[in-house]
Amino acid sequence: MEKGYLSIVLHAHLPFVRHPEYEDFLEEDWLFEAISETYIPLINVFDSLVSDGVDFRITMSLTPTLIAMLTDQFLQERYLRHITRLIQLSESEVERTRWQPQFHELARMYRERFNNCKYIFETKYGGNLVSAFKKFQDMGKLEIITCAATHGFLPLMELSPNAVRAQIAIAAQNYEKHLGRPPRGIWLPECGYYPGLEEILKQYGIKFFFTDSHGILYGSPRPKYGVFAPIYCPNGVAAFGRDLESSKQVWSAQEGYPGDYCYRDFYRDIGFDLDYDYIHPYLHGDGTRTNLGVKYYQITGSTEHKEPYIRARAVGKAAEHAGNFMFNREKQAEYLFSIMDRKPIIVSPYDAELFGHWWFEGPEWLDFLFRKLHYDQDNIRPITPMEYLDENPKNQKATPSLSSWGYKGYAEVWLEGSNDWVYRHLHKAAQRMVELAGNNNPGNHADGLALRALNQAARELLLAQSSDWAFIMKTGTMVQYAVKRTKDHVNSFNALYTMINEKKIDRKFLEDLENRDNIFPELDYKVYA
């Protein structure tokens, strides 16, 4: 009989990036790399666990922006173009490295992986990876949860409850459309919670969410079991807290697994290492060197000098780390069980893109972990939050504390010198959107153009609200793009606002926006009323 539960939670998210107005677009690579390095490897892990009869449980968010991109035909075609180019590149690499056995073997590995990506994407799932994840949900192995529509950081949106409600309502609608049932759980963007948010979650049938550790620990009344049991908000929505110890084993600078020297190095890429003329055909239009996704070196150590990556050794290390993780969770659960009068749940949330993209061996680590959990022990049982609540329906009532999982635990990542200027505009646009929704009812607008403008205005507002833009402005990668996106969406919104009020809608302008920012075609602006 188990002494505790383990809930692994993966948060899969990318902001909506889709630029049909350009022949190719660097930032679309964010999605393509995540597909090849994270989403497809995870699907392969799930498939192999299922076919080997390993019972596993993973909770995974697929954010509405990610679902929108994964189900978008235009981006699916661009991904195929992207992976086809990579296959060509890997074929050249197999030839080029003929006289260097250690690289040659890796080149063959990449060729096989890229071909596999194409097969999984195109042949096996017909271009729609959401259907792959849905398959595992339907089998009861995966619990897919939703997220706010465009990953808006909700504590800084609280000012406009209608805007928060729209983020949740549209997410729930998007989820049901693509996954065939309403969502039961949500990953709050950046784990950002503020007291009262649960009221809106409940309206859309959401039964649980997650907070960072201090969100639960500083809850009131004081939660008896800390983060090792969920609490019910006064309205009955459950909140699960992140376990810091298991997080630390993966994230920590000192002890974290992904930094192990024999794992693959993320930054060393042939896009920078090889002769320019040779890689030129695989670069974007402007010919600037960029990562191509073929990486031959291991982390090695603190020097610039890197040793060639040895795949078998790295995979062995992933198995060792999975064993270590399991051992520590067993000890943790045993100890907690001895001092609690119920079985503890250990909630370990991670960015999904950690696995494969950043930590190349991450998917193998997950694979080993679930195999070991299944075969090698019976102290802990993998579980989803929903299953936990079914088995343990009685929990303490308390309200979590405002919190996020960002640096320092609150709103500072998204509210500081580099990005605080956005809120004046986001709040004003939200206020205007609510005003538009209140003043306009469909009866007044038999004319389809006005209705379309109202819906598009809502899309522009939603896209401007993505927390990713503020995050990028703060961290300093691709800042210009984040600023551009924020300004473009706010400007588009303001232009539509004026047109709607003046009843003079520029059809061409509207159609351009509809073609580019085509997220949530089912959206109804009245959600802001």
Partner 1 sequence: MKKSNLEKLEEKELQELAVKLGISIRKSAKKQEIIKILQSAKAAPISKQESYTKNKPSAAETGGSTADQQHAEAAQPAQSVQQAVEESKFYTGTPPEEFRLPAELPYHYGDDRIVLLVRDPHWAYSYWEVSRKKLEIERGNLGKAGEDAYLALRVYDVTDIRFAGGNDHGHYDIGIYDRVGNWYINTGMPGRSFIVDLGLKTQDGKFITLARSNVVRTPRDSVSDILDEEWMIPDSDFERIFALSGGLSAFTGASSADIRLAAGGKLPFGISSPGMGSLALMSPSKKKQKAFWFVLNTELIVYGATEPDAKVSVQGRPITLRPDGTFTLRFALPDGKQIIECSATSADEVETRCITPEVIRSTKAS
Interacting positions 449-478 with partner 1 (CB under 8 A) = 468, 471-472, 475-478
Site for partner 1 contains 412 (CB under 8 A)? yes
Where in 10-69 is the site for partner 1 (CB under 8 A)? 14, 26-27, 29-30, 33-34
Distance in angstroms (rounded) separating the CA atoms of residues 172 and 160: 19
In the complex, least distance from residue 442 CB atom to partner 1, rounded to whole angstroms: 28
Q: Which stretch binds partner 1 (CB under 8 A): 54-62, 381-389, 392-400, 437-445?
A: 392-400
With CA atoms as reference, report the closest residue to 174 among 200, 146, 201: 146
Phi and psi of 287, rounded to 5°?
75, 15
Where in 118-177 is the site for partner 1 (CB under 8 A)? 155-156, 159
Distance in angstroms (rounded) separating the CA atoms of residues 166 and 523: 10
| # residues near partner 1 by CB under 8 A | 123
Where in 291-320 is the site for partner 1 (CB under 8 A)? 291, 299-304
Measuring CA to CA, how many Å separate 243 from each of 142, 148, 225, 254, 416?
A: 20, 23, 12, 18, 27
Q: Which stretch binds partner 1 (CB under 8 A): 1-9, 247-255, 366-374, 384-392?
A: 247-255
Site for partner 1 contains 276 (CB under 8 A)? no
Spell out, one character per residue from 77 to 106, where the chain touches partner 1: x when CB under 8 A holds, - when not.
---------------x--xxxxxx--x---
Of the candidates 48, 84, 203, 220, which one interacts with partner 1 according to CB under 8 A?
Answer: 220
Q: Is the CB of 418 or the CB of 518 nearer to partner 1?
A: 418
Where in 320-339 is the site for partner 1 (CB under 8 A)? 331-332, 335-336, 339
Of the candidates 87, 340, 451, 505, which one interacts with partner 1 according to CB under 8 A?
Answer: 340
Q: Are 14 and 465 in contact (CB under 8 A)?
A: no
Q: Are 103 and 268 in contact (CB under 8 A)?
A: no
In the complex, least distance from residue 422 CB atom to partner 1, rounded to whole angstroms: 9
Q: How many CB atoms lie within 10 A of CB 276?
A: 10
Q: Is the CB of 346 or the CB of 523 nearer to partner 1?
A: 346
Classify the phi-psi angles of 367: left when phi > 0, otherwise alpha if psi is within -120 to 50, otherwise beta. Answer: alpha
In the complex, least distance from residue 484 CB atom to partner 1, rounded to whole angstroms: 5
Count Cα atoms within 13 angstroms, Cβ side, for 285. 6
- DSSP letter string over 168-192? HHHHHHHHHHHHSS--SEEE-GGG-
Site for partner 1 contains 394 (CB under 8 A)? no
Classify the phi-psi angles of 236: left when phi > 0, otherwise alpha if psi is within -120 to 50, otherwise beta. Answer: left
Q: Which stretch binds partner 1 (CB under 8 A): 64-72, 357-365, 369-377, 381-389?
A: 357-365
Q: Is the CB of 256 or the CB of 316 nearer to partner 1?
A: 256
Exposed e or buried b per residue across 196-216, where buried means at least 16 C-beta atoms within 10 angstroms of its C-beta: ebbebbeebebbbbbbbbbbb
